[in-house]
Amino acid sequence: MAIEKNAKSKGRNAAPRSEKLPAEPLHGSAICPVAKKCGGCQLQGISYKKQLEKKHQLVKECVGDMRVLPPIGMEHPLHYRNKVHAAFGRDRKGSVISGVYESGTHRIVPVEHCMIEDERADAIIATIRGLLRSFKIKTYDEDSGYGLLRHVMVRTAHATGEILVVLVLASPILPAKNNFVKALRAAHPEITSVVLNVNDRHTSMVLGERNILLYGKGYIEDELCGNRYRISPNSFYQVNAVQTKVLYEKAIEYANLTGKETVIDAYCGIGTIGMTAAAHAKQVIGVELNPHAVKDAIANAKRNACKNITFYNEDAGDYMRKLAAVPKEAREKVDVVFMDPPRSGSSETFLDAVALLSPERVVYISCDPHTLGRDLDALRKKGYRPKECQPVDMFPYTDDIENIVLLEKTGSREQKREGSAKKTVGRPEIERTGKRNESKRKSGDAQSGDRGYQKELRKVRAAAGSRRPQAAKPKSGKRTH
């Protein structure tokens, strides 16, 4: 998704990066004719600046008492989706249509052009609609079970320009498949691979388990933070090419790696976060339940000559509990855990495993502020203190927002160094944590010999009356879940 090598991590106290925001061509009424039926772009009709403000407030309400930085937005927040899925069917007149399911239903809303999808993908899907008529290929009917073509998925690589087309069929047999592919590539020579995916089950899942290669390699390759990745039809890969680089750079910065750490990349997918971290750590362990993703991850490590990363095809929580069960003297200490769970958030089993392994830092990447807030509450109870949250807008014009949260274990060496540094500063900054035990700890530090700190603490409290300073206090403590 990106070409440049990941820059060296900046200091934690560096000012938040400034992003240029676009002119407001979409300010005002919705410009998409199917916006209300589709429901995919919930924030149409709202300027992009207002969208970021709205998302910032949502995150603050969900994550509780911690510092939440302003979201990092896109300069050009259109046509960013590198994975486009279209359902195929027929309208009342019998004409072939393709598009998205109407919100909450399985009725297809015809879509010609989408403001957030890759334009090359939309053009390819339009061509396939025409080819179905020429080759007399029937679309699949969910009610009767009759027909052949169910979906088309197009994946595009931002850095390399490669394009993968996945034809999802109810049967492994595509009539005149060679001629069909030849006609498709004649219209779109930029296509580098075509795969037939077999989904013969009555299910709401788009892809089946079986892939049949029709043209090319069967996958595409893209670049991210200096590494090259293989992306297969079933692999998870972030949908926004530009913002993924921003997201991973911030995650590595929060991890504060020195080259001596053992890192676990939980829910690792095809290994993108883990391999980015591997350049800065002693060793990385990637854990992923999806076997297709693990296969790609292993191939990616070999392709990039990344020798200090190992992948396991297991449930992340189960793997970590097994690791924690090994006596401490017989296993290497885990220093940092990256976790990037699905939208539903992490499981109680996984969070228990984190507490058992007791890493000094946890970097939590989440695409749902509500489940993030729930999991942060659980981690607080298990001895982890959320320090900072950086939202990254991966999904402009939708309700969704990606977030990165740094958590540190209470009493970790990092926090002790911070406490020590505060004692040596003439006029320390007082930070609101919202925790009574944190207040007692700071008071205890002052009473243990630093009268200057105690005097400064009294001054700040007196200036604010009976309350702590409000500078770092979130505007709202309301929880939406």
DSSP 23-39: P-TT-SS---TTHHHH-
Residue 465 vs residue 219, higher pLDDT:
219
* The two three-digit tokens of residue 239, written as one number: 């949908």
Which pLDDT score is estimated for 6? Answer: 36
pLDDT digits (tens, 9 = 90+) for 263-286: 999 999 999 999 999 999 999 999
Which pLDDT score is estimated for 32? Answer: 84
Model confidence at 105, pLDDT cuts 50, 70, 90, reads confident
Task: Answer yes or no: are the C-beta atoms of 163 and 154 closer than 8 Å.
Answer: yes
* The two three-digit tokens of residue 361, written as one number: 């830092």
Sheet of 384-392: strand order equals 67-68, 384-392, 402-409, 361-366, 336-339, 262-266, 283-287, 309-312
Give the integer Cα–Cα distance in Å for 303 and 91: 46
Model confidence at 203, pLDDT cuts 50, 70, 90, reads confident
* Radius of gyration, alpha carbons of the chain: 25
- For 107-167, where are the alpha helices, taking DSSP H only? 119-135
- Look up 114 and say whether it is catalytic: no
State the catalytic residue, choosing from 114, 225, 268, 367.
367
Which pLDDT score is estimated for 102? Answer: 85
Residue 429 has pLDDT above 60, yes or no: no
Single out the residue of 148, 32, 37 nearest to residue 397, CA to CA: 32
Residue 424 vs residue 234, higher pLDDT:
234
* The two three-digit tokens of residue 278, written as one number: 């591997």
% of the chain residues with pLDDT over 90: 62
Buried b (16+ CB within 10 A) or exposed e, 196-213: bbbbeeeeeebbbeebbe
Average pLDDT, the chain: 82
